[in-house]
Structures are given as structure tokens and as C-alpha cells.
Amino acid sequence: MTLAEKIGQLTLVNVGPGVLPGDLRAAVRAGKAGAVLDVVDVATVNELQRIAAHDSRLGIPLLVGRDVIHGFKTVLPIPLGQAAAWNPELVQQGARMAALEAAASGVNWTFAPMIDIARDPRWGRIAESFGEDPHLAAVLGVAAIRGFQGDGLSLPGAIAACAKHFVGYGASEGGRDYGYVGIPEVDLRNVYMPPFRAAADAGVATFMAAFSDVNGVPASGNRFLTRTVLRDEWRFPGFVVSDWDSIVDMVPAPVANDKARSPLSPGMEMVSTTYRDHLPGLLAAKRVDPRLLDDAVRNVLRVKMQLGLFERPVTDPAVYPGVASAANLALARELATQSLVLLQNRNGVLPLASKRLHSLAVIGPLADDAYEQLGTWAPDGDPALSRTPLQAIRETVGARVTVQHVRAMSTTRTMTTAGFSEAVAAASGSDAAVVFLGEESILSGESRSRASIDLPGNQMDLLRAVKRAGKPVIVVILAGRPLTIEPILADADAVLYAWHPGVMAGPAIADILFGVESPSGKLPVTFPRVVGQVPLYYAHRNMGKPASQASFLHIDDIAARTPQTGLKNASQYLDAGYAPLYEFGYGLSYTSYAYSGISVEPSRARAGLPITVRAVVKNVGQVAGDEVAQLYVRDLVGSVTRPVRELKGFQRIHLAGRKPGGFVSIVD
């Protein structure tokens, strides 16, 4: 290969919509482009692949990348919502479905899954994560990788996955996207790296470097991360791609004050052209080892060979199942249903008894918005496929129940009260009101950090106005992050957290509201009471003076001139305490479960063997439901301090409702 051809294999070109420019055709023909992204028209992809395979000197096909984050045409719940289902089998099935839909368009590489540990809800990209816990993120990340890559990369319908963003991106200071990340190595290795190690062990084809400056060295030029850890320690054989323009973004950092100093840490450069512009000169000046270049090219070619692109560069969409099929929509509905988390159900107001209802008010800006329910990073999603909550509620109750719909606010950010009187009238004339609140899809995702994570706009005032009608009020929240919702709890008889559930949001929500399904989602991330508690996560280390209910005294209850020694010293806030609003792993059901017979095999522990923990779980309620049994451990003595709790296992089990004798399951 010539030097230009080698650099070409490391060049990822953004195509975008529209007619292919002539210079791109020429670049592919000359072997100066090894991959393209954001082209999903199969005819266009095939034209590029024919040029690469038949008109270029070496005949090397292209990687075709796309952000297939939570579905392709059939949009699934956002990843944070999928994590709330705690169901790796469904996550794998969803990724497999998305891979098949994307592959039919010529896509052979996805920039997913994102397995960053996200412990700051101000960070917009928490929506793309699997939450705050390394074990849960690792299990679900591996499930997604297996779904995308199938039983083998060479098989039709498999697309290369990309574990991103390596590493620590979710710990950006202040939750500000692209910010500085300062993480001690003990936390890098114990918290942020485990999902990536699991991805590497599962055979993920590629990694993506984080945007962040990690401990003083940008991840795109961080030799410790991409060489010492990935190559030397983990023996990762795939390639690393930079994030969008991230090599250029190193320029403002003191470690890289000009483009020519970009080290060859990522194997492929996304969008920017520093390799093309500067590598020839750096090689000539012997400032870059040519063996690094050859290794990088080798890694890219290996992935292309594994994908079978040399044998099948062109896509025949006829060999793939259709998009948005009945089976795909059924899967989307099941995953959306399991992702819903019931946070509050005062006096058992849910499920609604549709046979006893005469009228129902459906209120709010997100009750009938086919676009917003898709969530962030759904570039190929089609709102025409969406079934909204309003549509599904009407289909569920039929003509026997009068459904009054009032949008009340044009968007979630509306500040006027012009529609409130109509909403109050609808609630007053109904047996109950279901109020859909939250945040629009544009308010979460990349570069969508928020300093305040309250409900935006005038939504709080809308809820208070509806509550004054005196009827039961059920709040359904669609959002891309945990919001600080404590202020709404007094005015909501029930709260159902729906994240952004995708195209089948409506049927899933209706099934929960009317008791067709019992809610089973569990939180994959901690909910703070106020934003000032952030970062707040369950697996924190204990303090020298840990907080407790006995130690807490609210700021308003402290007597004037209380001496400094008059309060108990503890690690807490005077105005917000120490406890979250809702803990990681929390979620209510329409039934109840009892645990008994918990046992551990101590002899195996003493022998240093894997330990089996066994428990008997029984449904002691009246209706069937899914329970997520969660296993936590704590290491009380170690060479370094350990968290107060660490998730080490979980199992979703279905249990029938209480019949004579009940129903019991044993979980290991």
C-alpha cells in the first residue's frame, strides 16, 4: 500500500444527505477514504462500495457508519430506558432488530453501545447510557454488542459495534459536555473501565475515544488509555476511532497546541483531516513510528475482513426483513413496557379500572406528540410509526369512556398559562386526569447539559392547577434523564416514569395505566431531590462520619445561635439531607414479592471459588408480575475502601398472581 492509501484507510468521511460530491467519488476511487458515515440510502452506499471494490487500485470496501443508538426505523426506548428494564435478553433482541434494519440500508458499523458510567443527570448524554452502575452497564453493553454483531461478523445482518466513549466521558466536570475529567486510577479501573473490559472480552469490533481531557491528556491522544490499557493489558485486536473532530479539538489543550502533534492513538480519524494533512510530514521527520501506522491500518483491514466486506461489498435489501414489521413493533412494545418505572401510587390509584370509568382527561404537551416520544439520537426514526399515549388510551377504553384531550402547553418549555383553564375544566368534568409532563427530546443528548433539571417551562403550575380540580391525578413523565421531581409528588397521586419510550410508547403506557401489565421497571440511576445533591449515586464510599436519619436536622429546624458543637457532625446537606428521592434499583409494582431462604455457600468462599447466593422469591399479591431480584455485596475489609453496596447480579423473573398455594421461584 502507498502511504496515501494507508492514511486513506484511517480516514472516516462524513457524507450526509444529498447527492454524492464528485470529490468523494474521486477520493474513494483513489483509496483515500476508508469509511463513510451518515449515508443510509442503500443505492448511494452501493455506488460507493462499487467504486471502492472495483474502481480503486486495491479494491478495499468501505466501512459505513451510522448512529444506530436505540433502534433504526423502529425506535426503541432510549438506552437509559432500556436499562430500566433490567433485561439483557430484550436489549440484545432490540440491538439485533436494529442491526437488521440498518444493514438493509447498507450500514455495517454502528457507533453504539455507549457504556459510559453516568452519575450526573445534568449531563445530557446520560440518556444514551445504561446508567450509573458498572455491572449493569457491562451486562447490558455486552447484550447490545451481541445483538449488533450477531453470531458472527461475517454473517449477513451483522454490523460492527463500537464501545464508546473510552473512557470517563460521563464524569465531565459539572455535567458539561466535552468537559475535563479528573478520575483517580483506582476509580478508572473499578468504576469506568469494567464495562469496556467486558465489551473487549465479548469481542466488540471497535472502540471510540472519549471527547474528554482525561486526567490532563485528551482521550484521543491518551497513550495510557489506547495503548497501555487497550492494547498491552486487554490485547484488544480491533481499532479505535476518534469522535467527531476530536483530534482537532485537542488543539486548545496545552498537550497538543497544534494539529501536527496529534499522536496516532485512535486507529481511525472521524471527519477531521489531521492524519491526511500531517502524517506524511511527521513520518518523514521520524516523529511518528511507521510501525504504528501499519498496525492501525492492519486493525481496520482486519475488521473489514471479519465483516465479510471483501466477499459482499454491495447490499441487497431484499434479503433482509422489512423495517417496522409487526414482530419489530411487538418487541418495541415489550421493551417499552418493561422500561416504565412506577415511582408513586398513593392509595392504589393505579391501575385505572376502565370498566368503572366514564370519563378521563388526558392533559399535557407530551400526551400526543409522535416526534418527542422518540427521544434523542433517533436520526432515522419515523414519527409516522409512533403510536402516542392518547391514541393508545382511546383504543384501550373504546367508546364507553369519554376522553378529553387538552395539550395545555405548546411545548414543555412554554411559560404562559393560556391553556390551563381548558385543562382544569377537562379534569373537573372527568373521573381522573392523566397529565403527561417531562422534557422534549432536544433537551437531552449530546451538548444538552442542564444546570437545572427541574421540569422546564410552566409544567409545575399546570399540574397544580389540574390538582385543584379535586380528581385523582396520574402523572406520566417522558424525559431523557432523571429530573428533580420532588415538588410534584404532593400533587400527584401516581407517578409513572416513562423516559422516552420510542415508537410504541402509547401502547406500553396504556397497558400499565389500565393494568394490562404490572409495572416492573427499576431505576438504573439515582434520582436526587435537588440538583445540589449531584453527584449522587448508590455505590458511594462510606464517610468517616456517615449520615443517618438520627443525625439529620433540617436547616429550618435549627434554633438560632445553636453552637457549632450543638449538631451531630455527619456527611450531609443541612437543606437536603443525605438521601436521594429514589434509589438506584427502585420501582413499584401492582403486586408484592417476599424473599426468604437466602443462603450462601461459605465453604466455596473460603476456598476462593465462585459463590452461589440463593433465595426464594414469592409473589404474595393478587396479580402476575415481573420481579427483578438484585444481589448486592459489600467488602468490609480491603486494601482500598469499597462502596457501601455494589451490584453483582440480577435476575428478572415472572411470577403468577396469588392463587391457592401461590407461586414461587428460586433465583441463583
Would you give the distance in Å from CA 95 to the centre of its chain? Answer: 13
DSSP 385-452: G---HHHHHHHHHGGGSEEEEE--SSSTT----TTHHHHHHHHHTSSEEEEEEE--GGGSSTT---S-
Q: DSSP string covering 331-395, please?
A: HHHHHHHHH-EEEEEGGG--S--TTT-SEEEEESTTTT-TTGGG-SS-TT--GGG---HHHHHHH
Rounded-to-integer distance, Cα 574 and Cα 563, Å:
15
How far apart CA 512 and CA 520 sit, in angstroms, is 10
Which one of 243, 380, 511, 626 is the catalytic residue?
Answer: 243
Per DSSP, what are the bridge partners of residue 375?
A: none
Is 368 one of the annotated active-site residues of the chain? no
Residue type, 631: L
Query: Identity (one letter) of the amino acid at 502?
Result: G
Sign of CA pseudo-dihedral 378, 384, 386, 388: positive
> What is the distance between the alpha carbons of residues 136 and 651, in angstroms, rounded to a whole number?
11
**Cα gap 473→494, rounded to integer Å:** 7
Where are any strands of DSSP class E within 121-267?
A: 162-166, 180-181, 206-209, 213-214, 217-218, 239-241
The span from the CA of 266 to the CA of 277, in Å, is 16
What are the cell numbers at 640?
482500598
The grid cell for 379 is: 436520526
In which residue are the cell numbers 468501505 written?
62
For residues 337 and 335, what is the distance between their CA atoms, to the nearest angstrom?
A: 5
3-class SS of residue 243: coil
Helix-strand-coil split of the chain, %, nearest 5: 35, 15, 50
Farthest CA pair distance, the chain = 84
Q: Record the cell numbers describing residue 404, joined without a space.
A: 378529553
Q: Are 492 and 345 in contact (CB under 8 A)?
A: no
Place of cell 427499576: 522
H-run or E-run covering 199:
helix 194-201
Q: Which residues are part of the catalytic machinery?
A: 243
